[in-house]
Structure 1
Amino acid sequence: MSKLSERIKLFNAGLLPDMVNLKYEAMAENAFRYYRGTCHLFYEDLASTEKFPASPQTWICGDLHLENYGSYKADNKLVYFDLNDFDESILGPALWEVARMVTSICIAFGELDIEPEKAENMAKLFVKTYAATLCKGKATSIDPRTAKGIVCDFLTAAAQNGYTVVLKKRTDKKNKKVVLSLVDERHFKIKKHLKLVLMDHIQQWIDQSSDSPYNYKVKDAVFRLAGTGSIGQKRYLFLLKSTNTKNHYLLVDMKQSRASSLSSYVKAKQPEWTSDAERIIAVQQRMQNVSASLLSATIFHDEPYVIQELQPVKDTIKFKLIRDQYRDIYQVIDDTAALTASAQLRSGGMNGSATIDELKAFGSDTVWQQKLLDYCFEYCKKVKEDYGQFVHDLQGGTFD
């Protein structure tokens, strides 16, 4: 067994065994999907290098890549485009976040057969816009009113998608009742006893939590598969029916929370969270302009979970569809860079993170920019080599 495979198997040892195989299959799809599933390797390697530039401590989502920006419906019922995955969130070096994203640009664009020169230009654009936004010292946000170009089209379309769309995809009718679909390849049946206990737990959350929706009853539950890095964690989807409005339903996601894979490598003192679910929610609320709908933490069978509404409008930019539209890609990268800097500015000064003035000063320092790019371009090559080794080991039965 290669050293690489040992590292991957060790990290995934605590996940659901029958789901880990699905995670490995997903990671084998291409180098970008492999990169998404190996966040822990990225930071293990980054923490051991001396070539990487220093940066102020900020709140970071931890696993920033092209598909961790997207649209979502917020508590105020408006649709936003922003960072949307905080499972790995932590107080750490600001540039660790940027490096994770810049490397993802190089890898993803390579998989899309976009010329290396264009990929490098986009990586440089991201760093330039990120630094420029820090220099301004003022966080920005993107909604349908402020979006430009393809992001505006994307958000406008997302805002028009209603519950009928998501319900049609996720549910079936059985004996004249609406139930969660088991035909959907992302849905799995739950054993009867566990299902009843889970449904009772969510009903108690509805009845007792101030973060829950009012006047709803739990009607069904399934195990849910989603993402890449999080495959193997316990995750459930619930169907809720309104007791006030006829034929109105909500879909609620409950996802197991694990410790951040960065926690072994960051040196900054972290707050004493009561659970990892609390950590995820607290950092998400600090970094996003407006929080996602029904965001809440819970403890089920002594394990922490994050609850939130399954977003009928949550989606990511499909780069495959715009791979030949250079101006559209330029706009998306420019927007994501501004949002990344804005999330750090918005949470500046909280629990030991750098203040806005410190971040402004860092943004105006150009010395670190080329060093960061050089590291990312070189690490991109390593990821592709590691991906080849992973596929070889997987086909050889190492992960059976």
Structure 2
Amino acid sequence: MSSIRLSLLALALTATACAQAPAVAAGARKDWVVQHIRDHNHPYAASARGELDTKLATMAGGPFAFYRGTAHLFFEDMNTLPASNYASAQTGYTWIGGDAHLGNFDASRDSGGKAVFKVADFDEGYLGQYLWDLRRLAASLVLAGRDNGVSDAKIGTAIDTLVGNYVDKMADFKGNSGESSFRLSKDNTSGAVADIIAKADGKTRDKLLSKYTEVSGGARKFQALDTLVAVSAATRSGLISAMAGYVSSIAESKRYPASYYTVKDVRQKLGSGVGSLGRARYYVLIEGGSAQNSDDAILEFKQEAVSAVAVAAPGRLPASAYDSHQGLRVARTAKAQVSNADVLIGHASIGGTPFYVREKSPFQEDFDPAKLDSAGKLDTAAGYLGQALASAHALADQDYDSSVVSYSIDKQVSDVVTSKSGLKTEIRGFAFDYADQVELDWQAFVEAYNAGTALY
């Protein structure tokens, strides 16, 4: 019996003694799941009921969708489940993304113009065990693989590939600065990953602008779309006022002339993401490099909150590292984990609410887990996922900011993984057992959702 099965059994036996501890059976854990989901969503109930309704309906669609919307449940469990055999105090200070799953990778052109495959979501960025990202990603392979009809045996092989490539790439980085030049591009990938890199590289700014905007009377503005809605005069004014703070959050060496950031139009963006539904998201159309309409840019302002990882590692990322501003925390994670990061990454506050700001990239292609519909496709992609995750962790250590992480994470991880096969076995066992728990939690959620239980 694997370590997580033993731990879940222990939790089940002690559930009556500790009401906060999740139990193994859906019935025993249902109240816990429902309460935590409601508590997580309730802060947005007054301002975003429609978005929360969309979120709950999406989560009801299947275990993987549910998993995407409940990173907070995952870290509640990481707070109670036993540690790995391949962890140390030092590896517990890895700058992790916190929500590693198949849907949180993409391909896009970096600031140097090269199309690359990489991690792509930083909302939960925080300091924690590298294994938490690896565990969460591996469990997502099980859930998405089952959705795609891949057998558990073949999914297990893909998890071994994921872990093996992660460990090997960390070993490659140990003792050198290889992570600073490492890229997953069309030159060193194949399969679904190579496909989305090619798609990202083939995109144009004109195509993105045509999707969301139109030119009328010589001026570009947002189209009237169901997913782009007009904002109040007060919200528009707040966004325009926040631009000065946003621009000042960008390093002076990476700022464009002030005219670049001139606001042309503003809309609220609806229906994006899963876990972040309910938080405010705005698209801001700005002038770009010239007065011509062809080089306008779209900024995305995304409301941020405390990282879910903090439940399992409270205070581990000092507030001083992000000036107690959750938008800055996310922006710093994005810049730490990606080489040649978007030069428009920054943060802002609107009415005291923190926002992460980035460009809505014209050259981005999201990674679609549904494309991994065979054992071969899943296994090939898993190798690149492991390498991309290793790259993110290795970049975000002393080489990025020694005041946050004061040593080499690639060295610490490589040293603590004394048996690659042992770590593969451990992560594989965790992934299947935790995916089974997610499926039970999803069933409990759907039962509550269909019964009309208040979930926000």
TM-score normalised per structure 1: 0.91
Letter in 2 for 1:334: G
Supply the distance in 2 between the matched residues of 1:267 and 1:201 (Cα, whole angstroms): 30
1:311-367 superposed Cα distances (whole Å, 9 cap, x missing partner): 11222232323413x443322211110111122222234424652332221234333
Q: Structure 2 vs 1, CA of residues 177 and 347 (structure 1 numbering), >3 Å: closer, same or farther?
A: closer
Letter in 2 for 1:269: R
CA contact (8 A) 2:148 2:373 kept: yes
Shift of 1:178: 2.9
Which of 265, 270, 278 is the equivalent residue of 1:220? Answer: 265
Q: Structure 2 vs 1, CA of residues 243 and 378 (structure 1 numbering), >3 Å: closer, same or farther?
A: closer
Q: Residue 366 of structure 2 aligns to a residue in which SS?
A: coil
1:45-102 superposed Cα distances (whole Å, 9 cap, x missing partner): 1221126445222110000000111012322233221111111011111101100000
Which residue in 1 is equivalent to 2:310? Answer: 263
Supply the distance in 1 between the matched residues of 2:333 and 2:248 (Cα, whole angstroms): 26
Shift of 1:186: 2.6
Supply the distance in 2 between the matched residues of 1:173 and 1:33 (Cα, whole angstroms): 37
Which of 139, 147, 152 is the equivalent residue of 1:116? Answer: 152
Which of 307, 325, 331 is the equivalent residue of 2:380? Answer: 331
Letter in 1 for 2:99: D
The 5 Å alignment of 1:297-316 reads 297-316=347-366
Letter in 2 for 1:363: V
Which residue in 2 is equivalent to 1:93? Answer: 129
Supply the distance in 2 between the matched residues of 1:8 and 1:118 (Cα, whole angstroms): 32
1:110-157 superposed Cα distances (whole Å, 9 cap, x missing partner): 112222222121112111211222222243321334433442332122
Q: Residue 221 of structure 2 aligns to a residue in which SS?
A: strand
Q: Structure 2 vs 1, CA of residues 29 and 177 (structure 1 numbering), >3 Å: closer, same or farther?
A: farther
CA contact (8 A) 2:331 2:345 kept: yes
CA contact (8 A) 2:123 2:330 kept: yes
Supply the distance in 2 between the matched residues of 1:267 and 1:49 (Cα, whole angstroms): 16
Divergent runs of 4+, >6 A: none
Supply the distance in 2 between the matched residues of 1:110 and 1:354 (Cα, whole angstroms): 39
CA contact (8 A) 1:91 1:353 kept: no
Which residue in 2 is equivalent to 1:33? Answer: 65
CA contact (8 A) 1:171 1:178 kept: yes
The RMSD of aligned alpha carbons is 2.4
Q: Residue 308 of structure 2 aligns to a residue in which SS?
A: coil
Percentage of matched positions with identical amino acids: 20
Supply the distance in 1 between the matched residues of 2:48 and 2:298 (Cα, whole angstroms): 27
Q: Structure 2 vs 1, CA of residues 8 and 353 (structure 1 numbering), >3 Å: closer, same or farther?
A: farther
1:233-259 superposed Cα distances (whole Å, 9 cap, x missing partner): 111101123473422211111111211
Which of 157, 161, 174 is the equivalent residue of 2:203? Answer: 161
Q: Residue 219 of structure 1 aligns to a residue in which SS?
A: strand
The 5 Å alignment of 1:102-141 reads 102-136=138-172, 137=174, 138-139=178-179, 140-141=182-183
The 5 Å alignment of 1:1-400 reads 2-15=31-44, 16-18=47-49, 19-50=51-82, 52-55=84-87, 56-57=91-92, 58-136=94-172, 137=174, 138-139=178-179, 140-174=182-216, 177-183=219-225, 185-202=226-243, 205=246, 210=252, 211-214=254-257, 215-216=259-260, 217-225=262-270, 226-242=272-288, 244-248=290-294, 249-266=296-313, 269-271=316-318, 272=320, 273-274=322-323, 275-324=325-374, 326-349=375-398, 350=402, 351-352=404-405, 355=408, 356-366=410-420, 367-399=422-454
Supply the distance in 2 between the matched residues of 1:148 and 1:115 (Cα, whole angstroms): 22
Work out the number of aligned pairs and report it.
398
CA contact (8 A) 1:53 1:372 kept: no
Q: Structure 2 vs 1, CA of residues 292 and 54 (structure 1 numbering), >3 Å: closer, same or farther?
A: same
TM-score normalised per structure 2: 0.81
1:154-173 superposed Cα distances (whole Å, 9 cap, x missing partner): 21221121011111211245
CA contact (8 A) 2:284 2:300 kept: yes
CA contact (8 A) 1:54 1:93 kept: no
CA contact (8 A) 2:79 2:311 kept: no
